[in-house]
Amino acid sequence: MQDQALHYAQTHQTETLDALKAFLSIPSISMLPEHGKDMQLAALWLVDKLNSIGLHNVKIMTTPGHPIVYADWLEAGPDAPTLLIYGHYDVQPVDPLEEWVTPPFEPTVKGDSLYGRGTSDDKGQLYIHVAAVEAYLQSAGRLPLNIKFLLEGEEEAGSTHLENFVIEHQEMLQADAALISDSHILDPETPVLITGVRGLTYMEIAMRGSKHDLHSGMYGGVVENPLNAMVTLLASLRDEQGRVTIPGFYDDVKPLTAEDRQAINNGIISEDSVLDETGAPVLWGDPDYTVAERKGARPTLDIHGIKGGFIGSGAKTVIPATASAKVSMRLVPQQNPKKIAELFTQHVLNISPDTMEVSIETHNTGDGAVIDMSAPAIQAAAEAYEQVFGKPSLYLREGGSLPIVPMFIEVLHAPVVLMGFGLPDDNLHAPNEKFHIPNFYRGIETAITYYQLLAERIA
């Protein structure tokens, strides 16, 4: 059965890539209200596709936000294990649009790469499993295990409604393991299993200093400028070593044990690799921790944008009435993102100058998690990687945040396998996002292999 599926996948690569391109051409940007219709189109596209490859119970399930697409195939019977596959069909916004070399929603092949928004995060990786299931059902007419698809449309908008959905549909989603392909491996040849994800708290600070914009010649030096007040406040949120200065921020951060440090500093992430991937002149961060520790196992604070005033060409001398800033904090698993949101809010209000009316909004929060690598579902993933890539899988604590991971662990009591196929330089959330096409095909073969191995290991 596995051989039939592998043969099918290998002989249908062109059709599979074309289908992915069609999926990618729908601009399903969950964060921008003007793309609401595109979100529906992307969900409907998935429903059509999942029906056509032979899945059952294919449906669009509403949430207070963007819908969730569900499908399953449970004909392997009650003795076979059930695998829940999670993916997200929404993508990040595309600005700055002018920096894209090819249009973000016209997927374009150049060399070994497929360029376009969502190629790697996460439509391309999600589609790996659609293609793997298709290969089994279209060649052998069956799968070696039961499969459930849970495809979300709000991951890039903070997965706001996912937790309630999972809690409400626990029975429908019950599985022996959950699988997510939304991460990256080390390089095209070296697979990586993720051993932990960071939590996230995303805030927005708004300040108002006057009832309308002012002329800096008339009011400079007399009425405080919200941009000046904002930079002073934002600058104070970190110290010179990059440590966050919010009181209580580190209270729940456990010191890394010698064992942790050994596991994290396994040589995968080096200063050189990060310099090479990013082109940064030098690296940066808390000198008490190594690059690998800072990247995956320490909390951070980043500013994502500051709005207010004039950013066009030329020289406008405005004191804007308002300014706002988006700030997020990546958290270690022990930190409670909601508590961090409260500490942030309280601290910012405490240090806000009396020249400003200040308001603070929590955009979203997501828990972190550390993954138990001894589960059979995860060992099977390492084996599948090795069979297809011909090289043992590495283990990496990932710096990104996948709120679905701790939620699956807590609500579904299922081990979560983070089996990704992206690359570190895929330009996630940035212009010219891409996906390495050979790993798209290798990903399909790895998925096909994994389904078989999981059936054997858990049966």
Contact pick of 169, 309, 342, 410 for its own copies (by CB under 8 A): 309
Q: Which C-beta is closer to its own copies: that of 172 or that of 231?
A: 231
Catalytically annotated residue among 155, 176, 398, 445: 155
Q: Is 22 exposed, middle or buried (0-12, 13-18, 19+ CB in 10 A)?
A: exposed
Least separation in angstroms between CB 40 and its own copies: 18
Q: Which of residues 20-59 bind its own copies (CB under 8 A)?
A: 31-33
d(CA 404, CA 414): 12
d(CA 237, CA 225): 19
Tokens at 387, concatenated? 């069979």
**Residues 6 or more apart in contact with residue 296 via CB below 8 angstroms:** 196, 198, 264, 269, 396, 397, 398, 399
Which of these segments, 59-67, 258-266, 288-296, 412-420, binds its own copies (CB under 8 A)? 288-296
Angle 348-369-250 from CA coordinates, rounded to 5°: 35
d(CA 408, CA 300): 24
Is 354 known to be catalytic? Answer: no
Least separation in angstroms between CB 426 and its own copies: 9
Q: Which C-beta is closer to its own copies: that of 103 or that of 353?
A: 353
Is 90 known to be catalytic? Answer: yes
Q: Any contact of residue 255 with its own copies (CB under 8 A)?
A: no
Least separation in angstroms between CB 12 and its own copies: 32
Angle 189-283-158 from CA coordinates, rounded to 5°: 70
Handedness of CA 209, 212, 213, 214 (dihedral sign): negative
Q: Any contact of residue 352 with its own copies (CB under 8 A)?
A: no
Which of these segments, 68-76, 78-86, 259-267, 421-429, binds its own copies (CB under 8 A)? 421-429
Q: Any contact of residue 101 with its own copies (CB under 8 A)?
A: no
Binding mask 388-417 for its own copies (x = CB under 8 A): ----------xxxx----------------
Q: Which C-beta is closer to its own copies: that of 103 or that of 431?
A: 431
Least separation in angstroms between CB 159 and its own copies: 11
d(CA 21, CA 366): 30
Q: Any contact of residue 302 with its own copies (CB under 8 A)?
A: yes
Contact 301, 327 (CB under 8 A): yes
Q: Any contact of residue 287 with its own copies (CB under 8 A)?
A: no
Helix 2-11 with 437-458: angle, nearest 10 deg: 170
Which of these segments, 9-17, 313-321, 338-346, 445-453, binds its own copies (CB under 8 A)? 313-321
What DSSP string runs through 310-354?
Answer: --SSS---EE-SEEEEEEEEEE-TTS-HHHHHHHHHHHHHHH--T
Least separation in angstroms between CB 165 and its own copies: 19
Q: Which of residues 201-230 bind its own copies (CB under 8 A)?
A: 202, 204, 209-225, 227-228, 230
Contact 265, 292 (CB under 8 A): yes
Least separation in angstroms between CB 69 and its own copies: 21
Binding mask 130-169 for its own copies (x = CB under 8 A): --------------------------xxx-----------
Q: Which C-beta is closer to its own copies: that of 16 or that of 364?
A: 364
Contact pick of 238, 261, 339, 457 for its own copies (by CB under 8 A): 238
Least separation in angstroms between CB 177 and its own copies: 23
Query: Which neighbouring-strand residues pair with 215?
Result: 318
Number of residues engaging its own copies in binding (CB under 8 A):
100
Q: Which of residues 358-377 bind its own copies (CB under 8 A)?
A: 363-364
Q: Where are the beta strands (DSSP E) in 96-238?
A: 108-110, 113-115, 146-152, 177-180, 192-197, 199-208, 214-215
Cis peptide before 122 (omega within 30 of 0): yes
Handedness of CA 408, 409, 412, 415 (dihedral sign): positive
Q: Any contact of residue 291 with its own copies (CB under 8 A)?
A: yes
Catalytically annotated residue among 38, 72, 90, 122: 90
Q: Any contact of residue 315 with its own copies (CB under 8 A)?
A: yes
Least separation in angstroms between CB 102 and its own copies: 15
The SS3 call for residue 412 is: helix
Q: Any contact of residue 78 with its own copies (CB under 8 A)?
A: no
Q: Which of residues 426-455 bind its own copies (CB under 8 A)?
A: 427-432
Q: Any contact of residue 284 with its own copies (CB under 8 A)?
A: yes
The SS3 call for residue 383 is: helix
Q: Which C-beta is closer to its own copies: that of 171 or that of 354?
A: 354
Which residues are known catalytic residues?
A: 90, 155
